[in-house]
Amino acid sequence: MRIAVIIVAAGRGSRAGGESPKQWQMLAGKPVLAHTLSAFAGMQVLLVIHPDDRVRAEALGVPLVIGGATRDASVLAGLQALQGTGVTHVLIHDGARPLVSRGLIDRMLAALQTHAAAAPALAVTDALWRGADGLVAGTLDRAGLYRAQTPQGFRLDAILAAHLAHPGGALDDVQVARDAGLDVMIVEGDEENLKLTFPGDFAKGEAILRGRDMDVRVGNGYDVHAFCDGDHVWLCGVKVPHGRGLLGHSDADVGMHALTDAIYGALALGDIGRHFPPSDPQWKGAASHIFLTHAAGLARERGYKLSNCDVTLVCERPKIGPYALEMQAELARIMGVDGDRVSVKATTSERLGFTGREEGIAAIATATLVKA
């Protein structure tokens, strides 16, 4: 079985509004047709266009065929162009359906292994009314009704013969096939396989693309600092009175260090030591908000927003509870995010290990970044 894809894009699509036909309008920064072609990447594609669109269509880098005055005439032009090329089966797809998924395409290819014709569809689940003069004039039985989609697939010789014999005016290629006596298998469609028809459909399409392109990054950070002489510790940007201090090259804010490393980790950018080497004397005694501000800034520069972060401080003392809300607020201020996206909590190690012996404090942090 050798498959080719005919993408029909010769229409003018006036209902969509805009200065250009809908297939040439922009969707998420690219022409609609560019998205449609991307869905069939790696497959043999033939694009059927209006003669007025030749120049911009050539920039897409796929073979072109000039279509006819109607959709079925355009499909026939594409089918005839595939004669003698060795293609045995064809998928026929609307250029204004840029959101077709690879899963749906694969289901169609599987169906054509055993059937001469197949098409995707979704069962009608809403109540159906007949209307007249703006009023409900009756109801229809939805049992056995489907919403048709593309790509519709056929054995090339069968659908070419069906189009040649058809008088024209068919709603889609399934109607042409059935009028020629072909049985068409129903394949499960996809709710996201939206056909752009009206101006509002473009906003829906962009929302679907954003959902597909969602980039979520998660990073973890871990840090430890030993106690030393002192009368306070810095934890998550808050000065906490204590009978000892924390030893470190900077201000030894173990919680902020762990969180900073979590953000760097989510970005795959290493750790604090890569960006602020301890061998560099300028960072001796530095306030840790410098590090966290840098990490949060890198995230923003790369188009990410902090969805949430969680810092756990592990120590017997000092007690963190009285300061936890202040710590959350300070971390949120430093990173420029809402306070409800920041969590600070504490636990003990039940007197076990170095934290249990009160030799130091450990911190674990997790940060989740989402592409804005």
Q: pLDDT, tens digit, for every residue of 279-313?
A: 888 888 899 999 999 999 999 999 899 999 999 99
Residues 200 and 321 in one domain: no
Q: For 33-72, how does the pLDDT look when each residue is reduced to its tens digit (9 = 90+)?
A: 999 999 999 999 999 999 999 999 999 999 999 999 999 9
Q: Are residues 132 and 117 part of one domain?
A: yes
Q: pLDDT > 70: what percent of the chain?
A: 99
Radius of gyration of the chain (CA): 31
| Confidence bin at 208 (pLDDT 50/70/90) | confident
User: Which pair of tokens denotes residue 105?
Assistant: 């395409």
Same domain, 23 and 97: yes
Assess whether the previous peptide bond of 278 is cis (omega < 30° from 0). Answer: no
Q: How far is CA 327 from CA 47, 217, 320, 361, in A?
A: 59, 24, 9, 16
Distances in Å between the Cα of 341 and the Cα atoms of 206, 215, 292, 333 are 26, 18, 15, 11
Runs of H (alpha helix) within the chain = 32-39, 54-58, 71-82, 102-112, 156-165, 173-179, 200-212, 254-266, 272-275, 289-301, 324-335, 353-356
Distance of CA 10 to CAs 48, 49, 103, 123, Å?
6, 4, 26, 29
Q: Among 212, 235, 257, which residue terminates a domain?
A: 212
| Residue 358's CATH number | 3.30.1330.50
Whether a cis peptide bond, with omega within 30° of 0, leads into 318 is yes
Cβ atoms 94, 150 nearer than 8 A = yes
- Give the closest residue to 184 by CA, choosing from 119, 113, 109: 119
CA end-to-end distance (rounded Å), the chain: 43
Q: Is 104 helix (H, G, I), strand (E, B) or coil?
A: helix
Are residues 270 and 227 part of one domain? yes
Average pLDDT, the chain: 94
**Distance between CA atoms of 205 and 25, rounded to whole angstroms?**
12
Side-chain half-sphere of 299: how many Cα atoms within 13 Å? 33
Host domain of residue 237: 216-371
Q: Average pLDDT, stretch 188-208?
A: 90
Whether the predicted model's global pTM rises above the 0.85 cut = no
Domain finish residue from 212, 233, 259: 212
Q: Looking at the structure, do residues 206 and 234 belong to the same domain, yes or no?
A: no
- Does residue 328 share a domain with residue 194? no
pLDDT band at residue 15, thresholds of 50, 70 and 90?
Answer: confident
Phi, psi of 313 (to 5 degrees): -95, 130
- From 212, 233, 258, the end of a domain falls on 212
Residues 204 and 220 in one domain: no
- 163 pLDDT higher than 90: yes
C-alpha 32: how far from chain center: 17
- Torsion angles phi and psi, residue 20, rounded to 5: -115, 160
Task: Please write the tens of the pLDDT for every residue from 20-31.
Answer: 888 999 988 899
Query: How many domains does the structure of the chain reveal?
Result: 2
Q: What is the CATH number of the domain that holds 151?
A: 3.90.550.10
Opening angle at CA 366, ends 278 and 251, nearest 5: 30
Give the per-residue pLDDT at 31.
Answer: 92
Q: How far is Cα 360 from Cα 355, in angstroms, rounded to an integer?
A: 5
pLDDT band at residue 349 using 50, 70 and 90 as cut-offs? very high
* Cβ density class 287-297: b for 16+ within 10 Å, e for less: ebbebbebbbe
Task: Say yes or no: 47 and 134 in one domain.
Answer: yes
Residues 206 and 240 both lie in one domain:
no
